[in-house]
Amino acid sequence: MNSHLFSSLTVGAQTFSNRIVVSPMCQYSANDGCAADWHRMHLGALAGSGAGLVMVEATAVERAGRITHACLGLYSDANESALAQTIAFCRTAGSAKLGIQLAHSGRKGSCEVPWDGGAKLAANRDPWPTFAPSASGDGSVVACTQADLDRIKQAFVDAAVRAVKVGFDVIEVHAGHGYLLHQFLSPLANRRADQYGGELENRMRFPLDVFEAVRAVVPERIVVGARITGSDWVDGGITVQEAIVFARELATRGCDYVDVTSGGVAPAKIPVGPGYQVPFASEIKKSVGICVRAVGMIVTAQQADDIIASGAVDAVTLARAFIDNPHWPYEAARVLGEELSYPPQYARAEPKLWPGSKLKG
């Protein structure tokens, strides 16, 4: 083993063949939450990509938790059946471990798909009420009552139970990107004056309640983690110091890892560049004794390997790099002097069997 990127990693009860994770990437291609042919093609290809773990996109725990009408869901028997068929296919298509990200869009829901503009659904487009910690001034967003919070927490639990039945190796609670749990965490979105608002201890209360309830129904053999925010990139928003506190609280509740992202809850000037979010993950890694993953414009094999070699984090999570090249790990292995096991159908393209590999840049 010449690289750090391709070393194995044990998290909780699961061991991953390498430290490359395919990030959850919304596909906006579901039918009332049900996975479609596109998901089978998309996830099947990634399952055979050489990555150690493939995460299914943000999956709504209730209909009102979707971003768009076309978002994946796990709130019905039909959703569960369709996703189970897709995951069963992925198991035949590749050797990657498979995970799912459970999410609720909160006030960012009831929108058109991005390629149709992403605007809020018009009255003739079957919109739905959206829920958040605090109401909007125009009445389009409803502040969660205790009954709403109880319903949503139960929806996360029910979706987690379904995810266990589908057969996932990893279940991730989404508390980033400006969606509902992040909205509770961020003072930019949470203006409540009750036990769920104000100081960080209160703002963490509902996200931690949700995580704890999910962990309680998931067997120990399945890894349970969270995607969290390292910074809102706005004055008065979440800071990395608050993210460290949140990560510590998650760890005490049985969280196996955190995947650290940033932004999404409010407009912000974000200095996007190679590895721009890695410093947040690194700070959390120094302070919290669980696995930490980094995400954010991680593009090249050497960059990814250097991040792992530095000890900054335990694994890297890539998204658009996999859209650009669904076999990114095979290319990374070639660059780093490693050998990955090719499916027999593709073995003729192994560097040792294909002289053309030496002609690539």
Residue 179 appears among annotated catalytic residues: yes
CB atoms within 10 A of CB 316: 27
Q: Is 100 helix (H, G, I), strand (E, B) or coil?
A: strand
Residue 37: helix, strand or coil by DSSP?
helix
Report the alpha-carbon distance of residue 203 to residue 192 in Å, rounded: 9
d(CA 137, CA 145): 17
CA distance 240 to 228: 10
Is residue 72 within 8 A of residue 39, CB to CB? The reply is yes
Q: Which candidate in 179, 196, 257, 330 is catalytic?
A: 179
Q: What DSSP line would sit under 275-321, residue for residue? A: TTTHHHHHHHHHH-SSEEEEESS--SHHHHHHHHHTTS-SEEEESHH
Q: Enumerate the active-site residues.
A: 179
